């Protein structure tokens, strides 16, 4: 499988005012290449929750978007720490360590990772104190 | 329920109007929350005919609506967006209103007039 479109974006830690801009760009790119609206919405929702997580929970990182030649879309979120000590807990609906600042944005309900998992076709997360990597894949289909 | 009837029922004031024609559009559902994760999780199927009602007033509400393809947003308790968010709003293309009613009152009035929730149609 070959990559036919690749974009990358930098996320700054605690950059609340720009939170969501990357997801907006990703959505625009994928809309332009004709991804189905429902698939596009699933991707936008997952991307936005994951982008917010990098802003509010991580020390910053990168978002990579890859469109493959079979039409599938991969999103990778790679941050530089502090990592997630207990992944199972983090994936439990309602579990959150979000700060008040994050809550004021309307996040911190502990529903982000469960939502991301539900709307994506492929979900893989690994974490250590050096950083967390979340890999998502989506199959574009006429849903 | 027509957008203009929604606006009238809760005596809402426009904060940012992107498309006046949408005032004649029929919206079939509403979702209300201050938690954007809830909106992102729940509004899946008919975002173009769902309105978002919220007491949270910041640019993340606009981002959430953008991700979901929602067109119409109502802020309760007379809340207004900060100036810079209003600029973003105009670019993104939303019709945004504010009402003096509280969240509970806003939802009660609209539900009473037949605007259903996202999990099924209103029966009474
Ligand atoms: N990139 C990340 N780096 C560090 N911790 C994270 C990251 N993403 C998620 N977490 C942890 O997982 C928890 C659950 O995440 P999530 O389900 O998105 O809920 P929320 O963001 O609302 O807290 C977070 O509260 C946080 O403790
Ligand atoms: Mg989150």
Task: Give B37-64 pLDDT, tens digit per residue.
Answer: 999 998 888 889 999 999 999 999 999 9
Question: What's the whole-number mean pLDDT along residues B85-109?
Answer: 94
3-class secondary structure, B27: coil
Tell me, using a 6 A CB cutoff, whether residue A108 lines ligand 1: yes
Report yes or no: A69 and A1 within 8 Å, Cβ to Cβ: yes
Report yes or no: A139 and A72 within 8 Å, Cβ to Cβ: yes
Contacts of A24 in chain B (CB under 8 A): 63, 66-67
Distance from CA of B11 to the nearest CA of A (A): 26
Q: For chain B, first and last CA: distance in Å? A: 16
Q: Which tens digits make up the pLDDT trace of A28-69?
A: 999 999 999 999 999 999 999 999 999 999 999 999 999 999
What spacing in Å lies between the alpha carbon of A1 and ligand 2's midpoint? 31
Check pLDDT > 60 for residue A7. yes
- Predicted pLDDT of residue A35: 97
Question: What's the whole-number mean pLDDT along residues B23-32?
Answer: 96
Tell me, using a 6 A CB cutoff, whether residue A19 lines ligand 1: no
- Please indicate if any CB of chain A lies within 8 Å of the CB of B82: no
Pocket residue to mutate for ligand 1, from A84, A102, A133, most atoms within 8 A of Cβ = A84
Q: Which residues contact B114 (CB under 8 A, 6 or more apart)?
A: B1, B122
Q: Report ipTM (2 d.p.).
A: 0.94
Report yes or no: B5 and B112 within 8 Å, Cβ to Cβ: no
- Name the A residues in 78-97 with CB < 8 Å from any B CB: none
List alpha helices for chain A, DSSP H: 21-32, 37-57, 87-90, 100-104, 112-119
- Categorise residue B44: left if φ over 0, alpha if ψ from -120 to 50, beta otherwise: alpha
Query: Can you tell me which residue has the tokens 């559009």?
Result: B25
Q: Please, is A74 exposed, middle or buried when counting C-beta atoms within 10 Å of its C-beta (0-12, 13-18, 19+)?
A: middle
State if pTM tops 0.80: yes
The CATH class that applies to domain A3-138 reads alpha beta
What is B3-117's CATH topology?
Answer: 3.40.1390
> Which CA distances in Å does A23 have to A37, A52, B43, B59?
15, 9, 17, 14
Check pLDDT > 70 for residue B123. no
Query: What is the residue extent of each domain of chain A?
Result: 3-138
Nearest to B72 by CA among B92, B97, B90: B97
Check pLDDT > 90 for residue B15. yes
pLDDT tier, A1 (very low <50, low <70, confident <90, very high otherwise) = confident
Give the one of A17, A24, A45 whose C-beta lies nearest to B40's C-beta: A45
Calpha distance A22→B90 (Å, rounded): 19
Calpha distance A15→B100 (Å, rounded): 32
Q: Please, is A64 exposed, middle or buried when counting C-beta atoms within 10 Å of its C-beta (0-12, 13-18, 19+)?
A: middle
Residue A62 pairs in a beta bridge with: A10, A78
Give the one of B41, B58, B69 whose C-beta lies nearest to A111's C-beta: B41
- A28-42, B13-27, B39-53, B91-105: the lowest-pLDDT one: B39-53
Check pLDDT > 50 for residue B122. no
């Amino acid at each position: 499988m070959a990559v036919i479109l690749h974009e990358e974006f930098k996320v700054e830690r605690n950059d609340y005012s720009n939170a969501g801009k990357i997801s907006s760009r990703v959505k625009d790119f994928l809309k332009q290449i004709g991804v189905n609206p429902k698939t596009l919405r699933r991707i936008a929702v997952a991307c936005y929750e994951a982008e917010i997580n990098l802003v509010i929970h991580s020390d910053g990182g990168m978002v990579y978007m890859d469109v493959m030649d079979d039409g599938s879309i991969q999103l990778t979120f790679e941050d530089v720490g502090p990592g997630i000590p207990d992944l199972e807990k983090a994936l439990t609906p309602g579990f959150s360590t979000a700060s008040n600042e994050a809550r004021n944005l309307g996040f911190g309900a502990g529903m982000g990772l469960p939502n991301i998992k539900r709307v994506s076709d492929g979900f893989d997360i690994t974490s250590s104190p050096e950083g967390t990597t979340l890999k998502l894949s989506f199959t574009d289909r006429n849903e | 329920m027509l957008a203009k009837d929604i606006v009238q029922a809760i005596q809402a004031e426009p904060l940012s109007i992107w498309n006046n024609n949408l005032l004649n559009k029929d919206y079939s559902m509403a979702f209300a929350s201050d938690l954007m994760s809830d909106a992102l999780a729940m509004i899946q199927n008919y975002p173009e005919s769902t309105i978002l009602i919220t007491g949270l007033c910041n640019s993340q509400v606009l981002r959430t609506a953008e991700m979901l393809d929602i067109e119409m947003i109502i802020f309760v308790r007379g809340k207004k967006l900060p100036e810079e968010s209003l600029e973003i709003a105009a670019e993104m293309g939303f019709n945004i209103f504010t009402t003096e009613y509280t969240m509970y009152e806003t939802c009660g009035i609209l539900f009473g007039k037949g605007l259903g929730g996202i999990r099924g149609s209103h029966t009474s």
